[in-house]
Amino acid sequence: MHPILETRKLCHVYSQGTPFEQTALHDVDFTAYAGEYLGIIGHTGSGKSTLIQHLNGLLKPTSGQVLFDGTDIWSDPAVTRQTRFQVGLVFQYPEYQLFEETVYKDISFGPKNMKLDEGEIDRRVRQAAEFVGLTEAQLAKSPFELSGGQKRRVAIAGVIAMEPRVLILDEPTAGLDPVGVDAILGNIRDYHQATGATIIMVSHSMEEVARTVERLVVVNDAVIPFSGTPREVFRHGAELETMGLGVPQMTRVFLRLRQLGVDIDPSVYTVEQARDAILAAKGVG
Amino acid sequence: MALKDITLGQYFPGNTPIHRLDPRTKILLTLYYIVALFTAEFLLTYALMFLALASGIAISKVGAKTILRGMKPVVLIVVITALLNLFYTPGTPILSFWIFTLTVEGIWAAFFMTVRILMLITGTFLLTYTTSPILLTDGIESLLGPLKKVRVPVHELAMMMSIALRFIPTLIEETDKIMSAQKARGADFETGNLFQKARALVPLLVPLFISAFRRADELAVAMECRCYHGGEGRTRMRQLKYTRADWAVIVLGLLGCIAITVMGHFGL
């Protein structure tokens, strides 16, 4: 697999040289491969937000490198700017960054900054709106007339419209009702399948990432203690608990069953897998 | 995160005798000090006041470094004031070139003006460094209390000030976040001419205003839910109380003030 984004020995220290000095990242080696659906988990203050802000050059490393397609993104200001367009970043609660008179104009803010021509901007805005399920009529509305969930979709469309090769989303489902959560996750999955872009989703909900991502990176106390497929990561159940992250409910049930002496595979994390594992254990499946 | 590094409240928590003084004492003392500073005209009186200020700083444990760092933004003003005084005070000329004339009186005037401004700033800094913003507004509200009789909305003004102070860090954080979000969409806040830079601020200011209004709305509702209805009959969790140390300092300050005025009369 081709690594699209890499960090090498990435360190970031906030307020260096003051009494408020704080190390947010320490010698982090992180890799995202082209086309994968990657999850980053960590509790509040673990350094995950600092990490993603390095990936598109919003924060400059205190030391270490960030490579996009093998090039150091800080090697040249033009490269840094290009990286911002290639690596789209959707912040937490992105609906608070909307500012234009109409939804259409707000989505076109990114493409306009890329200096694309009118026709291309129009195509991208409409396509991005379609990905997130916004209707033609909504494009002409003021973003402030929409509901919370709709506003969030507008904000996500604003980043998708830049057609980034890597799309990073920081807790895209925070504060939404279950229907809204499913809709947003569905939109992201559709985008991933249709464009083949790399998706990096930051979350602290194990249930959510377990359902969606192909690979997981755990961030804790400024380092990455482990990464791998959800199945591999959830084997570290006990360590995850001490990090305050916890494992999906199904995994917890199965870990406990094992402790009780039931011979069963503990690396399950969805209801379907649980069903199969139980059937296998009973010798039915 | 350059924005976050700005210290606006500039309060340095501590537990020194100066920190423990009643905020009203400190405000009154600072007022005496400012008045005395502008009545004092001679070396000895300045030396006296400098002594008072220096011992205040020493007791408060704020540190000379912090005080000096606070001076940085006013250096330019001080330099300009000093230069103007130096060359534009009429008196006995020492040397003159082009349109500038250096006079003996000018040198003295520049010296005193510089000392005066620096001491003024240091003195007021000592107040804000050792008093938390909340205590400061409580103190102001209590001192202005008598004005309530002539229908000045003292409590409301103090409440507005507390709320404003409380939300400065929140707004700075919010600005930082929105700026990053718009930069991620290719917004450029740094380059371009003045007009372009002003235009670039629109994507920052609109969301910032909207969120400020939203916060204000939420805060108003939260306050009403807890039956806030202005200052009338409102009691406090933290009661301000003058201690013996406060009275001592107030009397000492008053005496110092009188002494300086008297000394001024005798040309000291």
The predicted-structure confidence for B225-258, as pLDDT tens digits, reads as follows: 998 887 777 787 778 888 888 888 888 888 888 8
Q: Does residue B233 form part of some domain?
A: no
Q: What is the pTM of this model?
A: 0.76
B215 lies in the same domain as B247: no
Q: Does residue B173 form part of some domain?
A: yes
Q: How many CB atoms lie within 10 A of CB B66?
A: 15
B80 lies in the same domain as B159: no
> Per DSSP, what are the bridge partners of residue A6?
A31, A67
Name the domain count of chain B: 2
B51 lies in the same domain as B104: yes
B245 lies in the same domain as B215: no
ipTM of the prediction = 0.85
B44 lies in the same domain as B166: no
B125 lies in the same domain as B27: yes
* Identity of the amino acid at A110: G
B50 lies in the same domain as B90: yes
Q: Which of A198, A143, A149 is nearest to A172 (CA)?
A: A149
> For B205, which residue in chain A has the nearest alpha carbon?
A99
Higher pLDDT, A126 or B116: A126
For an interface test with B, the pick among A25, A54, A58, A99 (most B C-beta atoms closer than 10 Å) comes out as A99
B101 lies in the same domain as B159: no
B124 lies in the same domain as B248: yes
Q: Does residue B147 form part of some domain?
A: no
The predicted-structure confidence for B2-24, as pLDDT tens digits, reads as follows: 444 444 456 777 788 888 888 88
Q: Does residue B90 form part of some domain?
A: yes
The confidence score (pLDDT) of residue A177 equals 87
The predicted-structure confidence for B143-191, as pLDDT tens digits, reads as follows: 888 888 888 888 888 888 888 888 888 888 899 899 999 999 988 888 7
The Cα–Cα gap between B136 and B240 comes to: 11
Higher pLDDT, A15 or B33: B33
The predicted-structure confidence for A202-240, as pLDDT tens digits, reads as follows: 987 888 888 889 999 999 988 999 899 888 888 887 788
For an interface test with A, the pick among B11, B177, B179, B185 (most A C-beta atoms closer than 10 Å) comes out as B185
Q: Does residue B164 form part of some domain?
A: yes
The Cα–Cα gap between B52 and A97 comes to: 51
Q: Which of A14, A84, A88 has the CB atom closest to B183's CB atom?
A: A84
Average pLDDT for A161-166: 94
Q: Does residue B4 form part of some domain?
A: no
Q: Does residue B235 form part of some domain?
A: no
Supply the DSSP symbol for A91: P
Q: What is the set of domains in chain A, with CATH numbers?
A: 3-238 (3.40.50.300), 248-285 (no CATH)
Q: Which of B181, B186, B188 has the CB atom closest to A94's CB atom?
A: B181
B216 lies in the same domain as B253: no
Lowest-confidence range among A16-20, A45-49, A111-115? A16-20
Question: Would you give the distance in Å from CA B178 to the centre of its chain?
Answer: 29
- Which residues, 6+ apart, have CB-to-CB distance to A186 below 8 Å? none
Q: Encoding tokens for residue B192?
A: 């371009």
Interface of A with B (CB under 8 A): 14-15, 18, 53, 56, 58-59, 81, 84-85, 88-89, 91, 94, 96-99, 109-110, 113-114, 144, 158-159, 162
Domain, as residue range, for B212: 153-228
Query: Residue B123: CA atoms inside 13 Å, Cβ hemisphere, count?
Result: 23
B123 lies in the same domain as B21: yes
| Residues of chain A positioned with their CB less than 8 A from the CB of B1 | 14-15, 59
